[in-house]
């Protein structure tokens, strides 16, 4: 069951990625061409999803919006995982004061309300895709650091890590050859779930008007403008909203599926299977 959900999530994400990759080629109309005689229209043969408040083709804008949305979600997650993994490796391997310092730092970050910090940072850095990525990375690396540190604390006591120390291996060598491979699985799982969170965050920031600036379209931007015309042109906000939901769900499915394969202890399905088997017997 979980496996099927994983496949569904994967197909959806691959679909989105494909659309994002060839977006300029498949858009039916120019996403930035305005047509002020046909604003806020319903679906028609020419505009399959209707038009927005300045008469641009909604379908084309939503397709083009796939790009920045996914780009921000994936890039911010990648950057925060790189920073988080490095910090976690250092904290776990070095221990002592450095460990305490990094962990208290992550505690501090985790106390702060995410959306408010991101909004404040974007306001300071100036709205735009780059600052959204930076702001999300800034707040998001801590969860990676914590997970990696926990894994490293376990892994550094493993006999083969000690064997490497006895051989005279340097700290860097131990960290990258012996400890890092041990943390990849939980990091991948966390990352796939973090992407969905970051897409939500990006949409929220865009919805509040601080994300990618017009005329660039992101799903959050579309949602914000469409929201004011909810009664006249419901598709204007429903479609981007549904797309956000769909991508978030899909990344969550992937994350769940990955976790089940990498760490079967946490999965509910396995437990359920065992229960059923014992019932049959």
Partner 1 sequence: MNANLMLKVNKISKQFPVYRRTVFKKKIGALNVLNSVSFDIVKGETLGLVGESGCGKTTVCRTIMQLEPLTAGEIFFKGERLSMLTKKELRQVRRHMQIIYQDPFGSLNPRMKVLDIIGEPLMIHKITSSKGEYKDMVADLMMMVGLNPLMSSRYPHEFSSGQRQRISIARAIAVKPDFLICDEPVSALDVSIQAQIINLLEEIKDKFSLTYLFVAHDLAVVHHVSSRIAVMYRGEIVEIADKDNLCRNPKHPYTKALLSAIPVPDPKERYKDEHALLRGENNDLLDVPSGCRFYPRCPFAMSLCYQKRPVLNKGNHHEHLTACHLHQES
Report the SS3 class of residue 53: coil
Report the SS3 class of residue 46: coil
In this chain, which of 21, 26, 112, 163 binds partner 1, going by CB under 8 A?
163
Cβ distance to partner 1 smaller for residue 170 or 274: 170
Task: Please state, in angstroms and rounded to a whole number, the distance separating the CA atoms of residues 188 and 183.
Answer: 9
Contacts 24+ apart (CB under 8 A), 274-277: none
Least Å distance, CB 181 to partner 1, is 4
Closest CA to 89 of 6, 232, 187, 236: 187
Binding of residue 165 to partner 1 (CB under 8 A): yes
The pattern of x and - marking residues 23 through 62 that bind partner 1 according to CB under 8 A reads ----------------------------------------
Binding of residue 167 to partner 1 (CB under 8 A): yes
Of 11-19, 133-141, 159-167, 204-212, which segment contacts partner 1 by CB under 8 A? 159-167
Least Å distance, CB 158 to partner 1, is 6
Number of neighbouring beta carbons within 10 Å of residue 145: 26
Binding of residue 188 to partner 1 (CB under 8 A): no
Of 49-57, 135-143, 157-165, 241-249, which segment contacts partner 1 by CB under 8 A? 157-165
Task: Please state, in angstroms and rounded to a whole number, the distance separating the CA atoms of residues 22 and 96.
Answer: 50
The pattern of x and - marking residues 69 through 108 that bind partner 1 according to CB under 8 A reads ----------------------------------------
Contacts 24+ apart (CB under 8 A), 93-98: 93/152, 93/156, 93/171, 93/174, 93/175, 93/179
Distances (CA, A) of 189 to 67, 192, 196, 251: 23, 5, 12, 10
**Residue carrying the six token digits 């994400």:** 13
Binding of residue 164 to partner 1 (CB under 8 A): yes
Of 20-28, 74-82, 168-176, 251-259, which segment contacts partner 1 by CB under 8 A? 168-176
List the structure tokens of 182. 């041990």
Binding of residue 162 to partner 1 (CB under 8 A): yes
In this chain, which of 158, 232, 242, 271 binds partner 1, going by CB under 8 A?
158
In this structure, what DSSP letter does residue 128 have?
A: S
Least Å distance, CB 182 to partner 1, is 8
Q: Would you tell me which residues interact with partner 1 (CB under 8 A)? A: 158-160, 162-170, 173, 177-178, 181
């Amino acid at each position: 069951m979980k496996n099927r959900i994983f496949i569904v999530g994967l197909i959806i994400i691959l679909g989105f990625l494909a659309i994002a990759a060839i977006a300029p080629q498949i858009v039916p109309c120019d996403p930035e061409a305005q047509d002020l005689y046909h604003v806020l229209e319903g679906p028609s043969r020419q505009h399959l999803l209707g038009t927005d408040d300045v008469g641009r083709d909604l379908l084309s804008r939503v397709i083009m919006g796939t790009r920045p949305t996914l780009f921000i979600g994936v890039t911010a997650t990648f950057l925060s995982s790189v920073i988080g993994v490095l910090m976690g490796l250092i904290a776990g391997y070095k221990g002592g004061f450095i460990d305490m310092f990094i962990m208290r730092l992550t505690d501090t970050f985790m106390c702060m309300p995410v959306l408010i910090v991101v909004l404040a940072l974007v306001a300071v850095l100036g709205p735009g895709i780059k600052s959204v990525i930076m702001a999300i990375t800034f707040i998001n690396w801590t969860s990676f650091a914590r997970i990696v540190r926990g894994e490293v604390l376990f892994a550094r006591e493993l006999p083969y890590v000690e064997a490497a120390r006895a051989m005279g291996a340097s700290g860097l060598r131990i960290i990258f050859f012996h400890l890092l491979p041990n943390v990849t699985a939980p990091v991948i799982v966390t990352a796939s779930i973090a992407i969905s969170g970051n897409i939500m965050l990006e949409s929220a920031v865009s919805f509040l008007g601080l994300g990618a600036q017009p005329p660039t379209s992101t799903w959050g931007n579309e949602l914000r403008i469409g929201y004011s015309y909810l009664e006249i042109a419901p598709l204007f906000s429903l479609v981007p909203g549904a797309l956000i939901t769909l991508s978030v769900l899909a990344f969550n499915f992937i994350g769940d599926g990955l976790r089940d394969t990498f760490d079967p202890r946490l999965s509910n399905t396995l437990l359920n299977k065992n229960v059923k088997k014992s019932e049959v017997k």
